[in-house]
């Protein structure tokens, strides 16, 4: 039997997943690394940390009992999107990578839109220029760190830096490249108009592949470090959202996913590139050849709960360690003791700014409605509900675009929590379905590798033969009515606070 390896270079760690031809998990390993915030609104990581974590994760997974290196037929790569890795003429990293959740580039977004022209930006990239995207980071470097910019010879996305370290080749694929503001989304190739307008050389960018297509092969050096076979093919892979959608079977129209990881994403597959008239959602190339997708993205979904765990729940963390359980189990157990609506406590999950429906880097997190009864249980539930409200914002936009919805699949850490899944079903007033394998992007790119190595003919066939439905969560009518009331309050808060968010940013910068 042949095996496939899926790698996900995420925001919190690198994950390696080994699966067999049936889509069954054989081995998995995750190694974490830090995220650095040198200034408010900034987010950076050291690509060397990604590399070491990836090597360790691959070595763990590939050394599973009974697995020989030659039996691993191929690898797929996924990772956090939009991040910028700048390499010099010696292919060495010039500075820490600027990440997808970094908000320093608002001025550069405006500059790119003016310079290229808004009509050209939308026609070429099908999206506005946003602070998370890659091109503004390149322009920021040029304007703020000219010495570093003068040394740049390559700009890579996070997973593509790992591809380079594994294979020695510079390559990317259409789904991840879609989030750079430099790809022509309709033609699925680098936009000469955008590059010319920004005066960026095309040879700074890697070659663009379709996601299931082999892009490179494991080098001798990487083979010795990881235990993989030299020459093993590495397919294009996918940005984490498109790859995660493949792993969830979101490869045909009608079935959409709601993913609650560090970020929160509502994702629907498209047969043609359709855009929201107000450009509140993203229209990107899918990891399925000839397909596109639309997604709404909130920047701090599970990230909000992680902040709460780290900043407020030291007692729960210590107790969980003594009990040998996940701290989130204790936090959500407390949240479950609070009635829906949290006695009027509402949370805005804008800890790192926001993207959908408000592309605002100045937006910030807010607890609205605190009173003397408000404690950790109420705050925890308010976070779970606030994230669900934010995801509903995206869901409502996708519906308004005329995208057909026949089934909603829940995935990510939020889907593993019975309480959070029920809250989402109630807030959306929609049945949520989970699948048997919830391994996200790593599983998706393993399936892409199965297509690229000939095990399956198409991505659709790979999903059909490996992904099965598991559980269904129905909305509770009484909760639906409660959440409808509080969702309207939630919706009113951002417009009321928007000018204050801007004033706050000016005050602290």
- Is 240 annotated in the active site? yes
Query: What DSSP string describes 343-375?
Result: GG-EEE--BTBB-SS--BTT---EEES--TT--
CB 112 within 8 A of CB 129: yes
Residue among 49, 60, 240, 362 flagged as catalytic: 240
- The secondary element (H helix, E strand) that includes residue 78 is strand 72-79
Instruction: State the Cα–Cα distance between residues 261 and 411, nearest whole angstrom.
Output: 8
CB 257 within 8 A of CB 266: yes
Query: What DSSP string describes 39-77?
Result: STT--EE-HHHHHHHHHHHHHHHHT-TT--GGGEEEEEE
Instruction: State the Cα–Cα distance between residues 126 and 275, nearest whole angstrom.
Output: 7
CB 482 within 8 A of CB 341: yes
Return phi, psi of residue 335, to 5°: -60, -30
Return phi, psi of residue 172, to 5°: -145, -170
Instruction: State the Cα–Cα distance between residues 306 and 303, nearest whole angstrom.
Output: 5
466 token code pair:
């490996």
Find all residues with CB under 8 Å of 370, minimum gap 6, and list them. 345
Helices (H), ranges, 126-191: 134-144, 146-150, 158-167, 174-177
Three-state SS for 325? coil
Instruction: State the Cα–Cα distance between residues 314 and 202, nearest whole angstrom.
Output: 49
Instruction: State the Cα–Cα distance between residues 43 and 22, nearest whole angstrom.
Output: 38
Find all residues with CB under 8 Å of 225, minimum gap 6, and list them. 55, 59
CB 232 within 8 A of CB 71: no
Instruction: State the Cα–Cα distance between residues 246 and 467, nearest whole angstrom.
Output: 10
Give the closest residue to 206 by CA, choosing from 228, 234, 176, 233. Answer: 176
The set of catalytic residues is 240
């Amino acid at each position: 039997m042949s095996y496939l390896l899926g790698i996900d270079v995420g925001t919190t760690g690198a994950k390696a997943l080994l699966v067999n031809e049936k889509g069954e998990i054989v081995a998995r390993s995750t190694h974490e690394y830090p995220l650095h915030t040198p200034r408010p609104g900034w987010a950076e990581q050291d690509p060397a940390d990604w590399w070491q974590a990836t090597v360790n994760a691959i070595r763990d997974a590939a050394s599973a009992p009974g697995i020989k290196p030659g039996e691993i037929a191929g690898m797929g790569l996924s990772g956090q999107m939009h991040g910028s890795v700048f390499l010099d003429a010696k292919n060495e990293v010039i500075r820490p990578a600027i990440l997808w959740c970094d908000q320093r580039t608002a001025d550069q977004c405006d500059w790119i839109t003016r310079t290229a022209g808004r009509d050209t930006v939308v026609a070429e990239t099908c999206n506005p220029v946003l602070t998370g995207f890659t091109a503004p980071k390149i322009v920021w470097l040029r304007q703020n760190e000219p010495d570093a910019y003068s040394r740049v010879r390559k700009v890579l996305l996070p997973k593509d830096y790992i591809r380079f370290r594994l294979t020695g080749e510079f390559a990317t694929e259409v789904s991840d490249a879609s989030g750079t503001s430099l790809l022509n989304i309709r033609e699925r190739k680098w936009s000469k108009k955008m590059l010319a307008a920004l005066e960026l050389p095309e040879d700074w960018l890697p070659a663009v592949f379709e996601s299931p297509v082999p892009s490179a092969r494991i080098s001798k050096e990487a083979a010795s470090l990881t235990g993989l076979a030299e020459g093993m093919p590495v397919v294009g892979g996918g940005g984490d959202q498109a790859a995660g959608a493949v792993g969830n079977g979101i490869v045909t129209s009608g079935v959409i996913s709601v993913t609650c990881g560090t970020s929160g994403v509502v994702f629907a597959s498209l047969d043609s590139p359709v855009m929201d008239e107000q450009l509140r959602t993203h229209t990107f190339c899918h990891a399925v050849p000839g397909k596109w997708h639309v997604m709404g993205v909130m920047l701090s979904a599970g990230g909000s709960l992680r902040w709460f765990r780290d900043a407020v729940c030291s007692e729960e963390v210590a107790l969980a360690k003594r009990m040998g359980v996940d701290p989130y189990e204790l936090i959500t157990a407390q949240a479950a003791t609070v009635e829906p609506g949290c006695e009027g406590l509402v949370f805005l999950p804008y800890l790192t700014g926001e993207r959908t429906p408000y592309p605002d880097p100045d937006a910030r997190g807010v607890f609205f409605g605190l009173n003397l009864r408000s404690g950790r249980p109420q705050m925890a539930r308010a976070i779970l509900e606030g994230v669900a409200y934010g995801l509903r914002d995206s869901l409502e936009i996708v519906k308004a675009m005329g995208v057909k919805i026949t089934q909603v699949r829940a995935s990510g850490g939020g889907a593993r929590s019975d309480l959070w899944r029920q809250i989402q079903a109630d807030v959306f007033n929609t049945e949520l379905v989970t699948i048997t394998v919830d391994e996200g992007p790593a599983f998706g790119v393993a399936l892409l590798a199965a297509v690229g190595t000939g095990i399956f003919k198409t991505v659709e066939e790979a999903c059909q033969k490996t992904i099965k439905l598991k559980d269904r969560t129905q909305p509770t009518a009484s909760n639906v009515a409660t959440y409808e009331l509080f969702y309207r309050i939630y919706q009113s808060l951002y417009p009321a606070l928007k000018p204050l968010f801007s004033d706050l940013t000016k005050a602290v910068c």
